[in-house]
Structure 1
Amino acid sequence: MTTVKNVFNSDHVINYDQNAEKVNWLDPAITFGMAYRFVKPGDRLLDIGIGTGLSSQLFHKAGLEIHGIDFSPKMLARCRSKQMAKDLKEHDLSIPPYPYEANSMDHAVCTGVTHLFKDLTPIFQELARILKSGGVFAFVVPDCQEGEAREIQVESRHSPGEKVTIFSHSIQDINNLLDLYGFVQIYDLLFEASAIGHRTAKYKAYVAHKN
């Protein structure tokens, strides 16, 4: 079984941006388009699983101050080379607490990450603490309907013959987390895109604000 840590600390990182472009990865543009009216220049944005920084680029261009957290030092080094982030921290997203003070960020974004989590509780729990009241959280999850499999194995693009596990999240799963941690959904958008294993899958983008 291919592990996530092996993939994101491998030579895959070198071509990460090019591969995202090849598959026409739309998550960053979609989340920015859904969230832009709620943000302004100078706001502090926390990118959860920032990777090489693709999800933050449009927010950076819009004048936001970018902060990022990721478990992969190689991905963070790639992001750091772009000189777009104010601060980058190495941390495993499955382990709270994250290294940020309470009420220290205005907004957050999370794309290309949630398919790695069977349980998204740590992310929502920590953002409920870190985000200021009224802050916006824009994120994308692989979508599934009630009764559909939430966990599937697909062939890795980076290690032929190896399998990776992908986790999907239903609208009820997300609504439960939003309610539990004090977020109110503003928008959602269902779309299809290329996924791991070169298959087409359904995704849902959400924008919510913290009470």
Structure 2
Amino acid sequence: MGLEGKELEELYLRQYSGAGEEYRLFSTKVNETEYRLTMHYLHRFLKPGDRIIDIGAGCGVYTNALANEGYSIDAIDLHPDNVARMKELFKDAENINVHQANAMDLKEFQDDTYDLVLELGPVYHLHKTPERIAAIKEAVRVAKKGAPIFVAFVLQDAPLIQYIFQHENPAEEIKTIGYERDTARVTDNTGSSIYLDTIPTIDELTELVLKEVPVTKGPRFAQDGLSHVIRDSVNNMSEASYNEWLQYLIATAERADLMGYSNHVVQVFIKK
């Protein structure tokens, strides 16, 4: 993962230019599993009247869903295209405020303000451990005592299987990324600003956060489970079968033996 600084920022801006994030989660059944499982876990914690901050909101998929349920939300993103799109989408929404800001520096937002914090994008666009911890610290700072902070990561193995080993020529395709064959570790996610973690690297970061930030560890859940690994089967399911698949994903979302094959996982922290 050699990119950093200005080079990484420019790659991120190019990658997300066009503000298409509002469609990604609903473009296929597989993508929608990420949304459905995340909403399931959000509803475990939400209470009527809660105030929410959505850090790295993209084009506001979760902001929109939660605002429609009556919650007041501050939606934040770094990318100017995403911010412009949210301002257009939510211009008539009285319970949504849109801001452009960096997840590592939320100085315009006060301490101990929010009942629930979403940080579902920023940390996996940061490649250095101190920067990742800084973003989590800021998310915790603005949270009220007892509030959950949802921090998302992207794992390497489901994308590796989907984009490399399910390719027609994996031996050639794998040369397009940085890859250590002896450890099966992706070292350079070429062409993307996303940092690919493994469960052990998330464990390491989590332990550092627990030492440096006033939080306890809440649940960790897979946002899409094995969906991307068997994407063709999932996308071809009937509605009834898809609902059964969602129930399976919910029932197994916290199982450690399956966690590593999810495309995305969320670690929930609880502010002390």
Superposed pair shares fold, TM > 0.5: yes
More moved, 130-139 vs 108-117: 108-117
**Residues 1:208 and 2:269 aligned together:** yes
Instruction: Count how many residue pairs are aligned between Structure 1 and Structure 2.
Output: 194
* The one of 111, 114, 122 aligned to 2:120: 111
> Once the 2 structures are TM-superposed, how far is the Cα of residue 71 of structure 1 from its aligned partner?
1.1
Contact residue 143 and residue 171 of structure 1 kept, 8 A: no
User: How far apart are the structure 1 equivalents of 2:208 and 2:184?
Assistant: 18
Correspondence for 2:82? 75
User: How far apart are the structure 2 equivalents of 1:129 and 1:27?
Assistant: 27
Report the residue type matching 2:264 in the other structure. Answer: Y
**Residues 1:176 and 2:208 aligned together:** yes
Q: RMSD of aligned C-alpha atoms? A: 2.8
> Once the 2 structures are TM-superposed, how far is the Cα of residue 80 of structure 1 from its aligned partner?
2.2
> Once the 2 structures are TM-superposed, how far is the Cα of residue 126 of structure 1 from its aligned partner?
0.7
**Residues 1:153 and 2:189 aligned together:** yes
Structure 2 residues without counterparts, runs of 5 or longer: 1-6, 158-182, 230-260
- Percent identity of equivalent pairs: 16
* The one of 26, 29, 35 aligned to 1:28: 35
What are the Cα deviations for residues 9-44 of structure 1, in whole angstroms up to 9, with x where unaligned?
x23x1x332333225154333222113132123211
* The one of 51, 56, 61 aligned to 1:49: 56
What are the Cα deviations for residues 42-89 of structure 1, in whole angstroms up to 9, with x where unaligned?
211010111110122332233211111111222112122332552111
Greater strand content:
1
Note closer, same or farther for the CA distance 1:206–1:107 as it changes in structure 2 (3 Å cut): same
User: How far apart are the structure 1 equivalents of 2:59 and 2:207?
Assistant: 29
Correspondence for 1:135? 147
* The one of 86, 91, 97 aligned to 1:87: 97
User: How far apart are the structure 2 equivalents of 1:181 and 1:6?
Assistant: 32
- TM-score under structure 1 length normalisation: 0.77
Correspondence for 2:174? none
Greater helix content:
2
Report the residue type matching 1:178 in the other structure. Answer: L
User: How far apart are the structure 1 equivalents of 2:57 and 2:87?
Assistant: 11
Note closer, same or farther for the CA distance 1:139–1:65 as it changes in structure 2 (3 Å cut): same
Report the residue type matching 1:105 in the other structure. Answer: Y
Note closer, same or farther for the CA distance 1:134–1:18 as it changes in structure 2 (3 Å cut): same
Contact residue 22 and residue 58 of structure 2 kept, 8 A: no
Structure 1 residues without counterparts, runs of 5 or longer: 155-162
User: How far apart are the structure 2 equivalents of 1:152 and 1:25?
Assistant: 27
More moved, 185-194 vs 38-47: 185-194
Report the residue type matching 2:205 in the other structure. Answer: D
Report the residue type matching 1:34 in the other structure. Answer: Y
Correspondence for 1:159? none
**Residues 1:122 and 2:134 aligned together:** yes
> Once the 2 structures are TM-superposed, how far is the Cα of residue 192 of structure 1 from its aligned partner?
4.1
> Once the 2 structures are TM-superposed, how far is the Cα of residue 150 of structure 1 from its aligned partner?
6.7
User: How far apart are the structure 1 equivalents of 2:184 and 2:111?
Assistant: 36
- TM-score under structure 2 length normalisation: 0.62
Radius of gyration: which is bigger?
2
